Amino acid sequence: MVRQIKQKPMNWIERLYIFEAFRGLWTTLKHALRGLLRYETLPTVPYPEIKPEISRTYRAKHRLMLRPDGTPRCVACGMCATACPAHCIFLEAAPAEDGRIEKRVLRFDIDHLVCVFCGLCVEACPVDALRMDTCDTSYVFRKREDFVTPMYQLMSWDPKDYPQDDLQSQMAPGGTKNKQALDAWGLKVN
């Protein structure tokens, strides 16, 4: 449907343009002064000095979840790598010593330069071993290879940065529920 917008005809003052030009300049000046004198009232965020608040549900950089003893929850099933449309997850498996699981993960790298942050890997994981709730959206490197995040980096996160009701995070080493989880699971820290 075509919508026609009728323009109000200009009066003779507007047709002089000089007053309209000053009106435009006044608007610009008002905004410039607000930026100088009442910076905090601006609707913009002075990034990167102040980072915008990012929701936990936002698909940010990945992290590998940990068991209470600090080992990765990942059972090296490869479902995340299979689901990944960008083929940017590289993993290697080895037989697990723990009789409850078949395999353990030896290498788990994500190339964040290739990743399209679709979240399919997180959806595919059967054991909630991979999450994208770090709120980390800004990482800058000079070399391409530095964008490949290795397993030890994916595992280095602090339970303090995650909510108390996130039991999975709080059961990890350093978390508020770690001691109870170790006792309940009959695990010992090496």
Is residue 166 within 8 A of residue 172, CB to CB? The reply is no
Is 88 a binder of ligand SF4 (CB under 6 A)?
A: yes
Is residue 121 within 8 A of residue 89, CB to CB? The reply is yes
**Taking the complex as a whole, how short is the minimal distance between the CB of residue 189 and ligand SF4, in angstroms?**
22
CB nearer ligand SF4, residue 148 or residue 187 = 148
Count Cβ neighbours within 10 Å for each residue of 162-182 and write b for 16 or more, e otherwise: beeebebbbbbbebebbeebb
Which one of 69, 71, 86, 187 is in contact with ligand SF4 (CB under 6 A)?
Answer: 86
Closest CA to 43 of 31, 54, 55: 31
Q: What are phi and psi of 149, to 5 degrees?
A: -90, 115
Number of chain residues interacting with ligand SF4 (CB under 6 A): 27
Q: How is residue 155 written in tokens?
A: 């595992």
CB nearer ligand SF4, residue 27 or residue 82 = 82
**Taking the complex as a whole, how short is the minimal distance between the CB of residue 60 and ligand SF4, in angstroms?**
10
Scanning 44-52, 80-88, 156-164, 170-178 for contacts with ligand SF4 by CB under 6 A, the matching segment is 80-88
Cis peptide before 126 (omega within 30 of 0): no
Is 115 a binder of ligand SF4 (CB under 6 A)?
A: yes
Is 154 a binder of ligand SF4 (CB under 6 A)?
A: no
Taking the C-alpha atoms of residue 188 and residue 62, their distance in angstroms, rounded to an integer, is: 27
Is 60 a binder of ligand SF4 (CB under 6 A)?
A: no
- Residues near ligand SF4 (CB under 6 A) are 74-80, 83-86, 88-89, 91, 110, 115-121, 124-125, 127, 129-130
